[in-house]
């Protein structure tokens, strides 16, 4: 089939590369840098033609960030019944493939967090570019942005933009609920003139998804007992990562990066974008503001002290990706371990057995309060002990009965102070116990994981022969997992699984059919038993196509693969082990610091009690 542009030039259509609700997209074999979108409703309406003409007339600067139309196309050279549009063909992958871990492993294998920040910065610049020409993106979604291997990107499906030709406004009447701002939730978008502030909501969501490893800002664990879908959470301004929400409805999902992993400016920007009040005109951050913040973040990134593949903000309390790894067991930015100097976090990382021994030897024992030394007590008494009250006795005798009354009152006052000081000293035992138990409770789950990692590291260090044996036993399950990982959940229609539900699944690391288990689904708030059952049935349907041929012997290629698998497994275990060890040591250091403060206060209280006791004894 051929189509003809507005100059009458003919173009042969090649393979179909996409199809949506409005039309299908075809490559042009003779011009691979172009493609053609043919609309399902033909010929185009006068309004559609006018909107496409307005987009085609945009200045060249817009084409640097958006794939705007090049020409209308018809079925014959002489016809003016337009059926589609000629467009630039945009290389790359949907931005979804960058911010979700599975897609990043498949399509952006060498992408670090620095790459992700660069892509977010380019995204902000793209929005700033179209907004500068009065264009509103409107239909924002993860499918309408293509990212290339150099982190540059282009906005596509530009016929959904809201554009003005100087005479009339052509609104964007398309939208997906999970990308629609709260003030437009539940409304028909037909005829609504959208604003930059509306775009600001979708832009902020995309930036959040990029910076937080695919965690959706409105998917979290319910705090009120009511499980909210992401769409319901948007309508209620229930930003799951809000540090001080007006109505506590959600908290972040397990293992999510913390807001303080980024500069404080980002917390302010996200709150402006997602909190109630963001619906006011121009309340949300502009693309230019995001660009400035992302530029500063990119300039302030450093590599993790333990792992070369982990990049984080230099002022963060610790590497956020190591934190996700130890909290959720998911490595969002996998890479080979790289020790960073003697005595650093990577010391001993080359030996799984050595790290296993270190992990299994970790302990967390209470630090006991130490009473002040006899010398320090004597010094304290010299500063204000019994000698300070010696004059009371001769004075009271010289005053007769009145002196006795005064002395008795002073003794009672000292007795009251001594009792209070004794109670204060005793209270430090409880304070020390509460401090220890608080830290110990927080480390309980980590301690269990450390013990598991120690055992796994020892097993992994057992050698290649055992690795081959284990590989043969796990060969089928590994092959099945690789097969199921090809089924991305977001690409399939499952009854009751809306885009918002899919976002919630992504936030809980359920991305492919391989991730679907009863336990994993049970951990996702708001998923009823029937809905979880439908997702499990979908996973089983995917599995039906799997065919396994059991090897009768282990060929050299498989042996080599087993050894390589062992190396990969050891690298991952080392990475997890070092991250857990660092977290454990940070906690122990924090406990020691807080206990040191408590110890100093305890000794001062002991000295104060000793001084009061000495004063009271000197009057008897």
Q: Read off the pLDDT band of 305 (50, 70, 90).
A: confident
The mean pLDDT value of the chain amounts to: 85
Specify the pLDDT at position 344: 38
Report the CATH number at residue 128: 1.10.510.10
Decide: 58 and 70 in contact? Cβ < 8 Å: no
Between 109 and 183, residue with greater pLDDT:
183
Given a cut of 50, is residue 433 above it in pLDDT?
Answer: yes
Are 292 and 434 in the same domain?
Answer: no
Decide: 278 and 300 in contact? Cβ < 8 Å: no
Specify the pLDDT at position 338: 42
Given a cut of 70, is residue 542 above it in pLDDT?
Answer: yes
| Domain presence at residue 77 | yes
State mean pLDDT over 399-409.
61
Q: Read off the pLDDT band of 115 (50, 70, 90).
A: very high
| Domain presence at residue 331 | no
What percent of the chain shows pLDDT beyond 70? Answer: 87
From 89, 105, 129, the end of a domain falls on 89
Decide: 127 and 284 in contact? Cβ < 8 Å: no
Are 297 and 413 in the same domain?
Answer: no
Specify the pLDDT at position 94: 94
Count of CB atoms situated within 10 Å of the CB of 429: 12
3-state secondary structure of 255: coil
Q: In which element (H, E) is residue 25 found?
A: strand 23-27
Are 202 and 146 in the same domain?
Answer: yes
Specify the pLDDT at position 347: 40
pLDDT one-digit tens code per residue, 246-255: 989 999 988 8
Between 398 and 215, residue with greater pLDDT:
215
Q: In the sheet that 153-155 helps form, which strands lie side by side, from edge to edge?
A: 93-94, 145-147, 153-155
| Domain presence at residue 320 | no
Through-space distance between the first and last CA atoms of the chain, rounded to whole angstroms: 115
Give the separation between CA 591 and CA 584, rounded to whole angstroms: 11
From 270, 304, 338, the end of a domain falls on 304
Are 368 and 465 in the same domain?
Answer: yes
From 304, 339, 363, the end of a domain falls on 304
Closest alpha carbon to 145 in 94, 98, 101, 179: 94
Give the separation between CA 575 and CA 567, rounded to whole angstroms: 12
Given a cut of 90, is residue 350 above it in pLDDT?
Answer: no
> What is the phi/psi pair of residue 94, to 5°?
-55, 145
Q: Read off the pLDDT band of 325 (50, 70, 90).
A: confident
3-state secondary structure of 153: strand
State mean pLDDT over 376-391.
60
Between 477 and 167, residue with greater pLDDT:
167
What percent of the chain shows pLDDT beyond 90? Answer: 43
Strand positions, DSSP E, 120-203: 145-147, 153-155, 163-164, 169-170
Are 101 and 76 in the same domain?
Answer: no
Are 77 and 153 in the same domain?
Answer: no
Q: Read off the pLDDT band of 576 (50, 70, 90).
A: confident
Given a cut of 90, is residue 240 above it in pLDDT?
Answer: yes
Between 533 and 570, residue with greater pLDDT:
533
How many domains, in total, are found in the chain? Answer: 3
Torsion of CA 236, 242, 246, 251, to 10 degrees: 70
Are 363 and 443 in the same domain?
Answer: yes
Are 561 and 616 in the same domain?
Answer: yes
Given a cut of 90, is residue 499 above it in pLDDT?
Answer: no
Give the separation between CA 234 and CA 195, rounded to whole angstroms: 18
Q: Read off the pLDDT band of 461 (50, 70, 90).
A: low
Are 66 and 168 in the same domain?
Answer: no
Given a cut of 50, is residue 553 above it in pLDDT?
Answer: yes
Q: Read off the pLDDT band of 465 (50, 70, 90).
A: low
Closest alpha carbon to 11 in 39, 43, 41, 33: 33
Are 403 and 502 in the same domain?
Answer: yes
Given a cut of 80, is residue 161 above it in pLDDT?
Answer: yes
Given a cut of 80, is residue 559 above it in pLDDT?
Answer: no
Sign of CA dihedral 285, 291, 296, 298: positive
Closest alpha carbon to 267 in 257, 275, 259, 279: 259
Are 71 and 168 in the same domain?
Answer: no
Q: Provide DSSP, 520-545.
A: HHHTSTT--HHHHHHHHHHHHHHHTT
| Domain presence at residue 172 | yes
Given a cut of 50, is residue 343 above it in pLDDT?
Answer: no
Specify the pLDDT at position 554: 52
Give the separation between CA 314 and CA 342, rounded to whole angstroms: 21
Domain residues for 474?
Answer: 351-620
Give the separation between CA 136 and CA 198, rounded to whole angstroms: 9
Render the burial of 234-262: b for 16+ CB within 10 Å, e for the rest.
Answer: bbbbbbbbbeebeeebbebbbbbbbbebb
| Domain presence at residue 188 | yes
| Domain presence at residue 247 | yes
Q: Provide DSSP, 73-127.
A: EESSSS---EEEEEEE---SEETHHHHSHHHHHHH-TT--HHHHHHHHHHHHHHH
Closest alpha carbon to 173 in 318, 47, 8: 47
Q: Is the pTM value of this prediction over 0.75?
A: no
Given a cut of 60, is residue 606 above it in pLDDT?
Answer: yes
3-state secondary structure of 409: helix
Q: Read off the pLDDT band of 380 (50, 70, 90).
A: low
Q: Read off the pLDDT band of 540 (50, 70, 90).
A: very high
Specify the pLDDT at position 393: 53
Q: Provide DSSP, 553-617.
A: S--HHHHHHHHHHHHHHHHHHHHHHHHHHHHHHHHHHHHHHHHHHHHHHHHHHHHHHHHHHHHHH
Specify the pLDDT at position 395: 53
CB within 8 A of 19, min separation 6: which ones?
25
Q: Radius of gyration (Cα) for the chain, nearest Å?
A: 33
| Domain presence at residue 369 | yes
Are 107 and 84 in the same domain?
Answer: no
Count of CB atoms situated within 10 Å of the CB of 200: 26
| Domain presence at residue 313 | no
Given a cut of 50, is residue 417 above it in pLDDT?
Answer: yes
Query: Of 361-365, 551-555, 583-587, which one has max mean pLDDT?
Result: 361-365
Specify the pLDDT at position 249: 92
Give the separation between CA 295 and CA 301, rounded to whole angstroms: 10
Report the CATH number at residue 79: 3.30.200.20
């Amino acid at each position: 089939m051929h189509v003809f542009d507005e100059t009458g030039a003919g173009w042969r259509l090649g393979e179909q590369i996409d199809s949506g609700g409005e039309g299908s997209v075809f490559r042009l074999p003779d011009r691979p840098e172009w493609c053609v979108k043919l609309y399902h409703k033909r010929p185009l309406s006068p309004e559609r033609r006018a909107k496409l003409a307005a987009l085609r007339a945009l200045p060249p600067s817009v084409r640097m960030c958006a794939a705007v139309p090049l020409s209308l196309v018809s079925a014959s050279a002489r016809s003016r019944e337009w059926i589609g549009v000629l467009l630039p063909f945009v290389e790359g992958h949907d931005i979804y493939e960058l911010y979700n871990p599975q897609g990043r492993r498949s399509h952006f294998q060498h992408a670090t967090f620095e790459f992700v920040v660069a892509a977010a910065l380019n995204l902000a610049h793209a929005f700033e570019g179209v907004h500068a020409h009065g264009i509103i993106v409107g239909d924002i979604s993860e499918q309408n942005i293509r990212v290339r291997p150099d982190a540059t990107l282009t906005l596509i499906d530009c016929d959904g933009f809201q554009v003005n030709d100087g005479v009339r406004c052509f609104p964007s009447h398309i939208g997906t609920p999970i990308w629609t701002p709260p003030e437009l939730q539940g409304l028909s978008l037909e005829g609504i003139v959208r604003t930059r502030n509306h775009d600001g909501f979708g832009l902020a969501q995309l930036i959040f998804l990029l910076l937080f490893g695919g965690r959706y800002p409105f998917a979290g664990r319910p705090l009120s007992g009511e499980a909210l879908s992401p769409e319901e959470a948007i309508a209620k301004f229930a930003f799951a990562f809000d540090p001080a929400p007006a109505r506590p409805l959600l908290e972040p999902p397990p293992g999510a990066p913390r807001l303080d992993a980024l500069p404080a400016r980002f917390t302010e920007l996200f709150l402006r974008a997602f909190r109630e009040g963001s619906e006011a005109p121009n309340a949300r951050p502009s693309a230019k503001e995001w660009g400035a913040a992302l530029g500063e973040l990119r300039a302030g990134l450093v590599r993790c002290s333990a792992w070369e593949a982990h990049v984080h903000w230099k002022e963060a309390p610790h590497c956020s990706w190591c934190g996700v790894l130890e909290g959720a067991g998911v490595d969002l930015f996998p890479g080979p371990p790289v020790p960073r100097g003697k005595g650093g976090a990577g010391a001993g990382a080359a030996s799984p057995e050595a790290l296993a021994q270190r992990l299994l030897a970790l302990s967390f024992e209470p630090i006991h309060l130490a009473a002040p030394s006899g010398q320090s007590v004597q010094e304290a008494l010299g500063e204000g002990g019994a000698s300070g009250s010696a004059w009371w006795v001769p004075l009271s005798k010289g005053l007769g009965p009145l002196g006795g009354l005064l002395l008795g009152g002073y003794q009672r006052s000292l007795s009251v102070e001594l009792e209070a000081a004794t109670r204060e000293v005793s209270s430090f035992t409880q304070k020390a116990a509460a401090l220890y138990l608080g830290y110990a409770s927080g480390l309980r789950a980590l301690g269990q994981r450390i013990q598991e990692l120690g055992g796994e590291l020892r097993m992994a260090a057992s050698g290649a022969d055992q690795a081959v044996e284990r590989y043969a036993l796990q060969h089928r399950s590994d092959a099945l997992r690789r097969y199921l990982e090809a089924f991305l959940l977001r690409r399939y229609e499952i009854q009751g699984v809306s885009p918002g539900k899919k976002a919630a699944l992504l936030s809980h690391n359920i991305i492919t059919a391989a991730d679907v288990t009863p336990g994993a689904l049970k951990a996702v708030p708001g998923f009823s038993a029937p809905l979880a059952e439908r997702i499990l049935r979908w996973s089983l349907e995917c599995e039906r196509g799997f065919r396994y041929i059991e090897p009768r012997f282990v060929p050299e290629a498989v042996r080599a693969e087993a050894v390589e698998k062992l190396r990969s497994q050891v690298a991952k275990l080392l990475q997890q082990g070092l991250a857990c060890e660092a977290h454990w040591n940070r906690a122990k250091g924090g406990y020691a610091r807080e206990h040191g403060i408590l110890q100093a206060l305890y000794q001062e209280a002991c000295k104060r009690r000793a001084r009061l006791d000495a004063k009271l004894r000197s009057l008897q």
